[in-house]
Amino acid sequence: MSALESFSAGFKAGSGALAGADAPWLAALRQRAFDRFQQEGWPVAKQESWHHTSLAVLDQQDFALRGEARVAAEKIQALRDGEAGHWLVFVDGRYTPQLSDVGALPAGVQIQAVSQVLRDHPERLEAYFGSEADGASTAALNLALADDGICIRVARGEQVELPIHAVFVSASRQAASFSRNIVVLEGGAQATLIEHYVGDGAGVSLSSTVLRAVLAADARLVHLKLQQEDEQAFHLGESDIAQEQGSNYVSHSMSFGARLARNDIVTHFNGEHCETLLNGLYYVDGKRHVDHHTWIDHARPYGVSREYYRGILADTARGVFAGRILVAPGSDGTDAVQRSDSLLLSRMARADARPELEIYADDVKCAHGATVGQIDETSLFYLRSRGLDAEHARSILIYAFAAQAIERIADESLRRRVTRAVRGLLPGKELLGGMA
């Protein structure tokens, strides 16, 4: 049975058991979304935005919609590593309260599992759950099957001082999980969300995840997505951000796991003076494949966007970056920078970069660029002339390339977490032990 057939059978048999199934608006929305997915199927290479990424291998898998594995509390404690915060843990797509620790919340701050909200007050999510027309057909499949995830709402002017952690553990073999995360920040509110995707020996699994965030005027969201799934896993992720006047969205997309990972990030400037930073880093080896697609919609004047993606590729791995910045008519004062840099560690590794500017306003400042190359021999010679052996010098240069992305993470605890993940993956990692 193919993945498409698995999901078709699972939706027909189990849609009535999904959280919120009794809400007429949600049942109708899920049906429309599933109808779209059945009509379109998986995205194919003839679609421009999927030209470099094939889901044929994914469709050859036979997935179960819910796993039954358990995760030891010690694993979650190791992930936490003593870090303070508000923690919600999901195992194979299901909220697991016994592994979670939401903690005390400030007045005006709500942090819940989506399944809880859909069970008790589904009407509160109707305006934020999305439409069957959003994104690719993969997002429509997510909409049809997702009934859990993290739901965050922060009242006007409130600041959540500690980071909010949403940990998604893939623990069952051949299990597919569908999560839909929702963040609503009212005027002037601030929060930090960490989405952490990890494997627990699941092998072949699928994580389908969609983040929908609404940032009111002057709100600020820092969003770190750290992906560390098993080597045979599949990951399909989308982030859809709506920004109102003066809001600030900071995204750090760190992709270090999965056989195939696709991340789509879209942010819409619906008011003047919006700001966004899209910062990405990925490492792929073996035959793994990572694809980042971004779209920054400068729909209003005086928006500022910065976009930097870095990839490290070894063996026969492949990395894809396609970034689009759209400056709409009348969006004067736009200031946008987009850059993609890829480091190839072998002759068989491949990086595809397609930065794109589409400008319909005159008074703007925009720039974009991309590089694909290997380790600089001059820098390597310089380090070796200072007494380092070839392997040590090479490891330092690879880490220095990654560090430029890590340094853009302003929060020290988040930066430390990503640094540990990067150093544990890079070639020559045992030689990097003394580096910060």
pLDDT of residue 97: 95
Tell me the Cα Rg of the chain: 21
- Return the exposure string of 302-331: e unless at least 16 CB atoms fall within 10 Å of the residue's CB, then b: bbbbbbbbbbbbbebbbbbbbbbbbbbeeb
Q: Work out the pLDDT band at 436, boundaries 50, 70, 90.
A: very low
Higher per-residue confidence, 407 vs 5: 407
> Worst-scoring range by mean pLDDT, 97-106, 127-136, 219-228, 383-392?
383-392
Classify residue 163 by its DSSP letter. P
* Spatial CA neighbour of 244 closest among 220, 265, 278, 209: 220
Report the pLDDT value the prediction gives residue 37, as an integer from 0 to 100. 96
pLDDT band at residue 64 under the 50/70/90 scheme = confident
Q: Where are the beta strands (DSSP E) in 314-424?
A: 318-327, 335-344, 350-359, 365-373
Reported as a pLDDT band with limits 50, 70 and 90, residue 202 is confident
Residue 297 banded pLDDT, cuts 50, 70, 90 = very high
d(CA 132, CA 159): 32
What proportion of the chain, given as a percentage, has pLDDT over 90? 79
> What pLDDT is attached to residue 46?
87
Q: Does position 408 have pLDDT exceeding 90, yes or no?
A: yes
**What is the pLDDT, as a whole number, of residue 117?**
97
Q: How confident is the model at residue 431 (pLDDT cuts 50, 70, 90)?
A: low
pLDDT bracket for residue 391 (50, 70, 90): confident
**What does the pLDDT look like over 334-380, one tens digit per residue?**
999 999 999 999 999 999 999 999 999 999 999 999 999 999 888 88
Q: How many CB atoms lie within 10 A of CB 414?
A: 20
pLDDT of residue 294: 97
Confidence band, pLDDT 50/70/90 cuts, at residue 45: confident
In angstroms, how far is CA 383 from the centroid of its own chain?
35
